[in-house]
Amino acid sequence: DTAVSQTPKYLVTQMGNDKSIKCEQNLGHDTMYWYKQDSKKFLKIMFSYNNKELIINETVPNRFSPKSPDKAHLNLHINSLELGDSAVYFCASSQVLWGELFFGEGSRLTVL
């Protein structure tokens, strides 16, 4: 049973399109996150939700919109995709805020 699962694992799309990445965790954790890992392997937080409430919203373009329908899900929607959005997006969860992070396998987004 995968603890943190995200779909799709691979996404290839054209510039200007809108896409979503879904994330679900079955660990019963209260906090979920979205991280972006660029080509230089730098992991940077994008959003953090605690009990379905947004608590961190780093300086990402407002084309990125997270949605948390419940504590176990945190989805990421991206509008008007740009070349620079190409990266691996990791969903993660933790039992408490800033506790040990459990990552999903990542969603590799390629924008052409």
If DSSP codes are grouped into helix, strand and coil, which group holds residue 27? coil
Q: Which of residues 18 and 29 has its CB atom nearest to another protein in the complex?
A: 29
- Write down the least CB distance from residue 20 to another protein, Å: 20
Q: DSSP string spanning 30-61?
A: SEEEEEEE-TT--EEEEEEEETTEEEEE-S--
Residues in touch with another protein (CB under 8 A)? 40-45, 48, 56, 58, 90, 97-98, 100-101, 103-106
- DSSP result, 85-101: G-EEEEEEEESSTTS--
Q: Looking at beta carbons only, is 15 or 96 nearer to another protein? A: 96
Min CB(108)–another protein separation in Å: 8
CB of 86 to another protein, least distance (A): 15
Buried b (16+ CB within 10 A) or exposed e, 1-19: eeebebbeeebebeeeeeb
CB of 18 to another protein, least distance (A): 25
Cα(60)–Cα(64) distance, integer angstroms: 7
Taking the least distance from each CB to another protein, the nearer of 14 and 39 is 39
Identity of the residue, 49 or 90, whose beta carbon is nearer to another protein in the bound complex: 90
